[in-house]
Structure 1
Amino acid sequence: MTKILVVLTNTEKYKDINRATGLWLGEAAQFVDVVTEAGYDIDYVSPKGGFVPVDPSSMPTADDIDFKWYGDTDFRRRALAESLKPSDINPEEYAAIYYTGGHGTMWDFKDNIELQQIAEHIYQNGGYVTGVCHGIVGLVNLLDTQTGKRLIKGKKVTGFSNLEERLNRTKKHVPFLAEDSLKEAGAKYKAKRPMKEYVRTDGQIITGQNPTSAKKVAKELVKALKSRTS
């Protein structure tokens, strides 16, 4: 069965304030729920491998699906305790890569060369590069290895907006802004109302604006993958 690679952050706290961060639980759980139901196998990777912290702010809004996966022994072990290192990954095995969010990603996704190489390989093999919320910063430095240009240059994308960052009162505490980074990479960025579901698909690139968009990113990916085998 075709596999999907889910990318998670290792960052536990903001760098300039004593505030915890990490994976936004629902952005993994909602995605995983859809793609596993569709019959796809999943591996979990993080920049350093091993422990993946969960942002405590994601727990008060967690729903039954989030808690279903948070309570799943296999998920807790493979995703949160023993995530794979990039060096463990053979990109030939994956039909898609999905970058989860949470503010922690702002410190360890964008400049990780090993993850970039994995994503670029999957894309060049005809696979899908997907992400949601802050996780989309993992796409910023990806290159089309055939042209040498940014992968998202000229592509329709979305991700956590500057307005959402301001409303979250974190605009001054992140190293850069997700929206700005996408625009600077030449992407055609668009966002809708704060914290409302919004997903954009452009060829092999699928992106979601915020945590409420994770499930739809998964549905769009499943639809795309199924269309290739029908």
Structure 2
Amino acid sequence: MTSSAPVLETENLVKVYGKGASRFDALKGLTFEIAHGESVAIVGKSGSGKSTLMHLLALLDQPTSGVVALEGDPITDLKPKQISALRNDTFGFIFQQFFLNPNQTVLENVTLPLKIAGVSKSERNRRGMEVLEQLEMDSKAKNKATDLSGGQKQRVCIARALINKPSALFADEPTGNLDSNTSEIVEDILFGLHRDHGITLVVVTHDEDLAARCQRRLIMQDGEIVREEHGVQSTDQGVTA
């Protein structure tokens, strides 16, 4: 494995749902790379295949055919248990729906990936408080998730995504449930993490303003990447593999 390998790459990635008359080709043979420290937006209308693509890149689903490689190593043939461990260790996830357990405290929600990984409670709590402080949510650590505003819930989700110090962060419509002011705050947090910590950021979004802040935009239509755009804020760093 070399340091120059892309953090993620695909080769002829295909995803098909159903058979016969009900067959739907969600992805039609995509080949591309995402470099270390790059910010990439996957953009397209509903049904274009953007969420399907994110789920395959994030190892949340298996392709029908083709290859997904992480750090130059194909992961498509790994066993499900190996893929789950790799996903938990390497990636962080932020979704439009917050997926927080309403009966657990903020700290318990944030440290769930560490609990899954078998980390001790004292270490989980230490690291959980550290990341909550980073997002100015440490004062809410003992609150139940139901007591939070939408923006606070999304901050908790970001904290949970960061708890394993991921090399890549996947955000699926991260501002979709937020008002414009709160959306801007959440965007600033995400791009601050990208800038200050070198985290690779992959965003699926309908939001043109959010997409424009990414270094690169992959425009999808009918299961294909129809064009690629580079934002005004693009730099040579991270754009080339």
- TM-score strictly above 0.5: no
Higher relative contact order (CA 8 A, sep 6+): 2
Please report the TM-score for the alignment, with normalisation by the length of structure 2: 0.31
